[in-house]
Amino acid sequence: MDFDGVRVLVVGDVMLDRYVSGSVRRISPEAPVPVVAVRRRWSVPGGAANVARNLLRLGVTARLTGLAGRDADGEELRAALAAEGLKDSLVYAPARRTTCKTRVLAQGQQMLRLDEELCAPPAAAELAALRERALELLPGCGAVVLSDYGKGVLLPDADGVSLCAAVTEAAEALGVPVLVDPKGGQWERYRGAQCVTPNSAEFMRACGEDAGAAPDAARRAALAARLCGDYAFARVLLTRGAKGMELYTGQGLLCRCPARAREVADVSGAGDTVVAVLAACVAKGLPWEESVRVANTAAGVVVGKTGTAPVTLSELRAALRENAENPKLFALPDLLEKVEDWRRKNETVVFTNGCFDLLHPGHVSLLRQSAAQGDHLIVGLNSDASVRRLKGPTRPIQDERSRAQVLAALNGVEAVILFDADTPLELIRAIRPDVLVKGSDYTEATVVGADLVRAAGGRVFLAALTPGCSTTGIVRKIDAGPQDGEPGN
């Protein structure tokens, strides 16, 4: 799957998502609140800007417009978008502040969120500028996303003029589908959309029901059909969290996708990922049912990440083929993103490496000792070409994919990455592990990458060896055949 040549326009509430991460070891003597020892700060594009960011990571050409203030947060957002490779198409409003959400994290959990925002419809001049910008960006796009966070950009102005209506009308004239990530219970402004993607609470509020109600399948289908009829929607994609997704038309249920079982780290931005991937697939020309299945897979990936984070194309591809291939085998860009996610939680990254051909008790012991040195163990695995250079033309016995699959099946191994060089030096330089592990037949002075790890504040651990265990010895025994007194095959 790829999205070469696909273009998607995103219109909506852009914001800056800021994070402050640290650890908690005590309660404040001034008040009964935890004290966070701050270790790291970062910020990323949020809201509609995160939808565009997700599109970019998929290889889609994303176009974005929304309102931002002429303030420090607006400049930071603009710089973050530029860093993502997104040309700045925002409308800057001097009288409006840039929406900023600051989340305080400790031990990987969100403790507090601070919102700085102005939730108000755009002024007439702002609305006119937004409309002009959106209609300039629309031609050539295969889909439009209206990303509504209730901050005002997609609300009607004082005269009842709606940016949603203007964009939907222009898109319909060009045959471009409009997808809406909605907010609130007043959906008239989304009239005529090809698809709206509410969560359960938003869905129930729009239907005039209790947001916490849990209707059965027949009732959900009836409510979705009513929404399609009331607002001329072609489809409603109901996102139900751990219960998966359901796609409805005015005639009833079109498809249901169960949630993929994953450890949930953070649901921030999951809705952005769903609508972005859905729009990308629809713009590519995939059927709606298939597009929903792909979006559901992407949602399963993104909830395993900390903070507002996009899904990359390679992650999506890996997740789509997860049942057939090794989900723990990473390409370097994806592994580095996973490592960054672990570091945001202040978790320790351990690295070891080897050929791991014909896995034996010595390998198992090394990996067990390695995993005990921190929170996450990465194993660098010599490629077949690398093993041949190191061990000779008859090795490896098992190819790299087989060796990677066996390693991934072991408890404690969280990631496997192949490398083609004779040593893992460049891999260590890129990953920057907190702990580097080799067997005790090495000294710290002879461990490749030890100086890099120590210079960055990490450490080297020399694991105890298991006597009499080596792949070379096993191969020699096999080559020698049965000895006297031993049974043959």
Binding site residue list for ATP:
199-202
Please tell me what DSSP assigns to residue 341. Answer: H
- Which one is catalytic: 266, 272, 341, 434? 272
**What is d(CA 472, CA 478) in angstroms, rounded to the nearest whole number?**
10
Active site residue 272: yes
Residue 211 has a CB neighbour count (10 Å cut-off) of 14
DSSP per position, 405-417: HHHHTSTTEEEEE
Cβ atoms 432, 456 nearer than 8 A = yes
Q: Which two tokens stand for residue 390?
A: 């190191």
Residue 146 has a CB neighbour count (10 Å cut-off) of 29
Q: Give the bridge partners for 41, in sequence order.
A: 20
- Please report which residue ranges of 345-440 form alpha helices under DSSP H: 361-371, 384-391, 400-408, 425-431
DSSP per position, 33-69: SEEEEEEEEEEEEEEHHHHHHHHHHTT-EEEEE-EEE
**What is d(CA 197, CA 311) in angstroms, rounded to the nearest whole number?**
18
**What is d(CA 7, CA 61) in angstroms, rounded to the nearest whole number?**
5
**What is d(CA 285, CA 275) in angstroms, rounded to the nearest whole number?**
15
- Type of residue found at 239: T
**What is d(CA 191, CA 475) in angstroms, rounded to the nearest whole number?**
70
Residues making up the annotated binding site are 199-202
Q: Which two tokens stand for residue 241?
A: 């969290």
**What is d(CA 396, CA 398) in angstroms, rounded to the nearest whole number?**
5
Cβ atoms 69, 117 nearer than 8 A = no
Residue 13 has a CB neighbour count (10 Å cut-off) of 25
Residues marked as catalytic = 272
